[in-house]
A = this chain, B = another copy of it.
Amino acid sequence: MVSLSQEGTIKKLLNNPDTIIAESLDGLVAAHGDILMLDGNRKFVRRKVLKPGKVALVSGGGSGHEPLHTGFVGEGMLDAACPGQVFTSPTPDQMQEAVVAVDSGAGVLLVVKNYEGDVMNFEMAAELSGAKIARVLTDDDVAVDRAGTGRRGVAGTLVVEKIVGAAAEEGRDLMSLKALGDGVNAVTRSMGVALSSCTVPAVGRPTFEIGDGEMEFGVGIHGEPGRRRDSLKSADDIAEEICATIVNDMGRLQGKPALLLVNGFGGTPLMELYLMYNSARRMLEREGVVIARSLVGSLVTSLDMAGCSITLSLLDEEKLRLWDAPVHTAALRW
C-alpha cells in the first residue's frame, strides 16, 4: 500500500508494485506446497509430481485473472502455467521452459486464450522447445465480432482446461485431446458486464472511466471496451441481454444439457453472483436449456473489477463425465 501516482493513492494490499506477482506466486506455492512448485526464476508454476506418459497441459497469460491459470494447476487440470506481468503475455522463454519441464515425451497441449501476444509467444515457445506440441485456442467471448483477430478467450477457458485435463489424466493422446479441447471451445460462449473499472498496480489509477450511473456491456477481462456503455440495469435485465446474446450465437438449445458458470471479476461478492446465477438460470431454462452443472465464483478475474460474466458450455455425456472427474488444484477441487 504505497503512494504511486499523481492521481492519488492506490488501495491495494502490496509492498511494491514491481514485486506483486513474485510475492503472490510465493504465497500461492507456499500455501499449496502439496500440489505446486515454482521454478527458481518464477517463470512458471508446475505440478509437484508429474504423471509419467501423460500428455502435459500448459497454459498461461497475463496475471490479474487469478485463480486462472496458476490456481488450476494440479491433478485433473493443468501441468504448468506461466504467469506474465499484469495483463501482459508471458514471454516465449517462460513458456518454453515450462513445456520442457513438464513434457514426459507424450507431447504437450497448449491452452491459449485468443490474444495476439499470447498466441505469438506460445507459437514461438512451441518452436523453440522442440517438443511435440498441439494447441487449443479459446475464443468464447460473444461480445466481440469474429472479424479481424477474432473473439477473445475469457472464462470459458477454465471449462476447456477442466474437461481436457480430465481426459489427459485418462491417458488420451495429444491429437485426441486437441480435438476434445476444440470441441469444448466450440460449444462454449461467455459474455461479461463491468460495474467498475480495475486498477493495474503499476499504473495506480483505474484502467477506464465509468460513471456512477453507468455499466459496460461485453467488457473484456482486461477492461477492454465492450459492446456498449449503458445506464445501470437490474440483474434480470443484465442476465436477459447476456443470455440472449449467447443463445442467439449458439442456435437451438432446447433440451440440451449445459454447464452454467457465473464468474465474478474480482470485486463482486458471492451474494451478488448467486443472485445473477438465479436470474440467468431462469432465463436459460425458459429457452429450454437443461442446466446440468453449475459453477459460481470469482475464477477468471480482472483484478478488482466489479461485475461478472456468464458462460454457457454444452455438455454431452462424455464432457459431463469429464467435468465430474476428480480435480485437485488450489482453486477447484472435487
Contact A212 B11 (CB under 8 A): yes
Contact A11 B272 (CB under 8 A): no
CB of A36, distance to nearest CB on chain B (Å): 11
Contacts of A303 in B (CB 8 A): 269, 271
A195 interfacial contact with B, CB 8 Å: yes
Residue in B8, B213, B235, B266 whose CB lies within 8 Å of A14: B235
CB of A25, distance to nearest CB on chain B (Å): 8
Selected A-B contacts with CB under 8 Å, 7 pairs: A1-B234, A13-B195, A13-B276, A27-B274, A30-B278, A66-B271, A333-B333
Contact A266 B269 (CB under 8 A): yes
| Complex: chain B residue closest to A68, CB-CB | B270
Contact A275 B23 (CB under 8 A): yes
A252 interfacial contact with B, CB 8 Å: no
Contacts of A215 in B (CB 8 A): 1, 11
Contacts of A306 in B (CB 8 A): 11, 267, 304
CB of A202, distance to nearest CB on chain B (Å): 13
Known A1-B232, A1-B233, A195-B1; judge A298-B278 contact (CB<8 A): no
Interface string of A1-38 (1 = CB under 8 A from B): 11100001101111110001101111110111000000
Interface string of A64-83 (1 = CB under 8 A from B): 10110001000000000000
| Complex: chain B residue closest to A276, CB-CB | B13
A88 interfacial contact with B, CB 8 Å: no
A323 interfacial contact with B, CB 8 Å: no
Counting every copy of the chain, the complex holds 2
CB of A287, distance to nearest CB on chain B (Å): 16
CB of A313, distance to nearest CB on chain B (Å): 15
| Complex: chain B residue closest to A70, CB-CB | B274
Known A27-B281, A270-B66, A298-B270; judge A13-B334 contact (CB<8 A): no
Contact-size category for A: 35 or more
A59 interfacial contact with B, CB 8 Å: no
Interface centre among A8, A11, A14, A215 (most CB of B within 10 A): A11
A246 interfacial contact with B, CB 8 Å: no
A296 interfacial contact with B, CB 8 Å: yes
Whole-angstrom distance between the alpha carbons of A63 and B308 in the complex? 21
A268 interfacial contact with B, CB 8 Å: yes
Q: Which are the 4 A-B pairs with shortest beta-carbon distances?
A: A27-B278, A27-B274, A31-B294, A1-B232
A301 interfacial contact with B, CB 8 Å: yes
A217 interfacial contact with B, CB 8 Å: no
| Complex: chain B residue closest to A25, CB-CB | B274
Residue in B15, B234, B301 whose CB lies within 8 Å of A15: B234
Contact A269 B30 (CB under 8 A): no
A157 interfacial contact with B, CB 8 Å: no
Whole-angstrom distance between the alpha carbons of A96 and B16 in the complex? 51
Known A212-B9, A235-B13; judge A27-B304 contact (CB<8 A): no
